[in-house]
Structure 1
Amino acid sequence: MQEVLELFKEPIVIKLATLLLWVVVIIVGMGFLRKLVKRRIDNTGIAYRAQKTIDVVGYFFIILLVVLSFTFDSLKNYTIILGLFTAGIAFTLQELILSIAGSFYILMFRVYKPGDRIEINAIKGDVIDINNMFTTLMEMGEWVSTDNYSGRIVKISNAFVFKGPIKNYSMDFPFVWDELNIPIAYGSDLELAKKIVLDQANELLADYTKNSKAKWEELVDRYFLENAKLDPSIAIRLTDNWVELNLRYITDYKLRRLTKHQLFENIEKAISQSSEKVTLASTTLQLLKIPEMDVRIKQ
């Protein structure tokens, strides 16, 4: 018992006990602040970001406390020790440090947030969580077509925000441009075909176009952008087999596949009701006539 009491009188033990006490106080304080934020803030998005900020700041203070606890007493060699310690940490834990710095960067500059659809490190998906180390995505694409979920949950290091481009589908302008091609047979009424396609696009996409114009005006005021045409438009291209009508339109980034399906369905129905003035085309083959042959048989 006496040896145990003597042990607790050692300076290093007192220092470790004090450090442990402060770490416990910081962790308890973090938990209290997280619960307070969750209870006081009704907006889920703001509460989520506030809780993540509390975590990051709390862990930063814990790391700072540990570093100062073991270097403060040696004021004479403080600069050398701190320099060597920092260099070693930076070399061995560079990915960890970049990840933590990346989480600060994501939260402070709103690079993306939970609910955004992004593409980072060649992986596309919806952000479902951001913590101090990783961004978690519900993956899209891979073996499934267009913008469908693959079912895999992908964790990406936050360090990747410093290593390459981040494509955000929804941050300031939650609409995307898309295209579809309609093959029209030669000999069809081309003006009527263009009218049918544009009428169907305008009818289906009226709300998207109206909402996107307001968002685009905000974007032009904020960034150095030229004004763009947001109404559905058509371009014509002649091919060997048909006249191709290229429809360009704007739609919600989450409804791109559904919008394309509805457009194809509505356009096909309208063309079928045009009394064959407009005909959808398919690949054609030209068969060449076999030349006549005069065969004479000698007996």
Structure 2
Amino acid sequence: MIMDALNFDDPLIRKLILSTGIVVITYLIGFWVVRFINNKVEDFKRRHQSRRFTYYIIFFIDSIIITFIWLEDPSSLTTYLGFLSAGLALALHQVLLNIAGWLLIILRRPFGLGDRIEWDQVQGDVIDIRVFYTTLLEVGNWVEADQSTGRLVNIPNSTIFKAALFNYTRGFGCIWNEIKFLVTFESDWERAKKIVLETGYEHSEEEIEERARRRIIKMSKNYMIKYGKFTPIAYVEIKSSGVQVTLRYLTSVRKRRISENQINESILKKFKDEDNIEFAYPTSRLYRRTEEGKFLGSNE
């Protein structure tokens, strides 16, 4: 009955059926390709990238074929695209910006899947890159030391043109971290500095320092960048409540909290054994002029 109602001589009906057939066929092909990828590719990152690439190819093929199906005259494609572009530029400028941002991300690769980045004031690990937005598994925020919050954050790809992007993973593959220890003015700050620096060396990762050194040499071929020191270093600074000793050291991007915890525990144990080192904290002092100074107007 439905077949009787359809007039296959109608060009519109033929185009609808042909377009539907193309979509179904390409969907089935894509389904089997993705199934093959899931069974054969063991690496998680490569498997996810391969699936994304398959979806993009199918979408592109469908768009091209269906466009030619619905065009009355293929030679008018240029004119058609011109009017279409003008209309899209006005009505869908944000969508086009997202697509342009996605192309920039795919071609220039400022970050990739698995990278830890800070983008548009959001920190997280990149878990998906789509045409219109990129998905991050958030870290930080109310959780300290760059640990995961468990939230997924979708950032429009157009943001790549207007917000700063920080990549923790590219370049060194590690980051500089600093831990501050405040001791009293009466403490032996030189001894405290020595203990802090020794602890930094005890917990330093030689493979990280060597990897950073190799990457700096490689990066210097393309960028004006130079580092001369990759081992821990300690700095001393005078504060209002005491002497601050700052330990600066290299650590893996995802091990910052672990390394801080290990170093802090070691420092607490070592300072406990030192009689002439005490931690400082903000204090206030009450000064009585009549007891500690002279009376106003006194000649003595």
The equivalent of 1:193 in structure 2 is 192
Map residues 47-126 of structure 1 onto 2, 5 A cutoff: 47-73=47-73, 75=75, 77-126=76-125
8 Å CA contact 2:123–2:140 kept in 1: the answer is: yes
The equivalent of 1:272 in structure 2 is 272
The alignment's TM-score, normalised by the length of structure 1, stands at 0.85
Map residues 3-18 of structure 1 onto 2, 5 A cutoff: 4=4, 7-18=7-18
Task: Go from structure 1 to structure 2 and tell me whether the alpha carbon gap of 1:41 and 1:172 turns closer, same or farther (over 3 Å shift).
Answer: farther
Task: Go from structure 1 to structure 2 and tell me whether the alpha carbon gap of 1:42 and 1:3 turns closer, same or farther (over 3 Å shift).
Answer: closer
Q: Deviations over 1:198-249 (max 9, x none)?
A: 1001001133434433443333345331124211111211233312112211
The structural deviation recorded for 1:51 is 1.5
8 Å CA contact 2:146–2:256 kept in 1: the answer is: yes
Where 1:291 maps in the other structure, the secondary structure is helix
- Alpha-carbon distance in 2 for matches of 1:270, 1:249: 19
The equivalent of 1:254 in structure 2 is 254
The equivalent of 1:131 in structure 2 is 130
Where 1:172 maps in the other structure, the secondary structure is coil
The equivalent of 1:149 in structure 2 is 148
- Alpha-carbon distance in 1 for matches of 2:103, 2:79: 28
Q: What amino acid is aligned across from residue 174 of structure 2 in structure 1?
A: F
Task: Go from structure 1 to structure 2 and tell me whether the alpha carbon gap of 1:6 and 1:26 turns closer, same or farther (over 3 Å shift).
Answer: closer
8 Å CA contact 1:121–1:164 kept in 2: the answer is: yes
Q: What amino acid is aligned across from residue 280 of structure 1 in structure 2?
A: F
8 Å CA contact 1:49–1:107 kept in 2: the answer is: no
Task: Go from structure 1 to structure 2 and tell me whether the alpha carbon gap of 1:163 and 1:239 turns closer, same or farther (over 3 Å shift).
Answer: closer
The alignment's TM-score, normalised by the length of structure 2, stands at 0.85
Task: Report percent identity of matched pairs.
Answer: 28
Task: Go from structure 1 to structure 2 and tell me whether the alpha carbon gap of 1:31 and 1:287 turns closer, same or farther (over 3 Å shift).
Answer: same
The structural deviation recorded for 1:5 is 6.8
The structural deviation recorded for 1:72 is 4.7
The equivalent of 1:287 in structure 2 is 286
Q: Decide which moves more: 111-120 or 95-104.
A: 95-104
- Alpha-carbon distance in 2 for matches of 1:4, 1:99: 45
- Alpha-carbon distance in 2 for matches of 1:108, 1:72: 34
- Alpha-carbon distance in 2 for matches of 1:109, 1:237: 42
8 Å CA contact 2:99–2:132 kept in 1: the answer is: yes
The equivalent of 2:298 in structure 1 is none
- Alpha-carbon distance in 1 for matches of 2:6, 2:289: 111
- Alpha-carbon distance in 2 for matches of 1:189, 1:32: 71
8 Å CA contact 1:52–1:132 kept in 2: the answer is: no
Task: Go from structure 1 to structure 2 and tell me whether the alpha carbon gap of 1:65 and 1:189 turns closer, same or farther (over 3 Å shift).
Answer: same
The equivalent of 2:166 in structure 1 is 167
8 Å CA contact 2:68–2:74 kept in 1: the answer is: no
- Alpha-carbon distance in 2 for matches of 1:62, 1:95: 23
Runs of 5+ in structure 2 lacking a partner? 296-300
Where 1:129 maps in the other structure, the secondary structure is strand
Task: Go from structure 1 to structure 2 and tell me whether the alpha carbon gap of 1:171 and 1:6 turns closer, same or farther (over 3 Å shift).
Answer: same
Task: Go from structure 1 to structure 2 and tell me whether the alpha carbon gap of 1:47 and 1:150 turns closer, same or farther (over 3 Å shift).
Answer: closer
Where 1:227 maps in the other structure, the secondary structure is coil
The equivalent of 2:216 in structure 1 is 216
Query: Alignment RMSD, CA only?
Result: 2.7
- Alpha-carbon distance in 1 for matches of 2:102, 2:51: 13
Task: Go from structure 1 to structure 2 and tell me whether the alpha carbon gap of 1:68 and 1:95 turns closer, same or farther (over 3 Å shift).
Answer: farther
The structural deviation recorded for 1:74 is 6.2
Task: Go from structure 1 to structure 2 and tell me whether the alpha carbon gap of 1:86 and 1:40 turns closer, same or farther (over 3 Å shift).
Answer: same
Map residues 19-30 of structure 1 onto 2, 5 A cutoff: 19-30=19-30
The equivalent of 2:37 in structure 1 is 37
The equivalent of 1:297 in structure 2 is none
Equivalent pairs, count: 292
Task: Go from structure 1 to structure 2 and tell me whether the alpha carbon gap of 1:41 and 1:144 turns closer, same or farther (over 3 Å shift).
Answer: closer
Runs of 5+ in structure 1 lacking a partner? 295-299
Q: Decide which moves more: 115-124 or 137-146.
A: 137-146
- Alpha-carbon distance in 2 for matches of 1:234, 1:3: 83
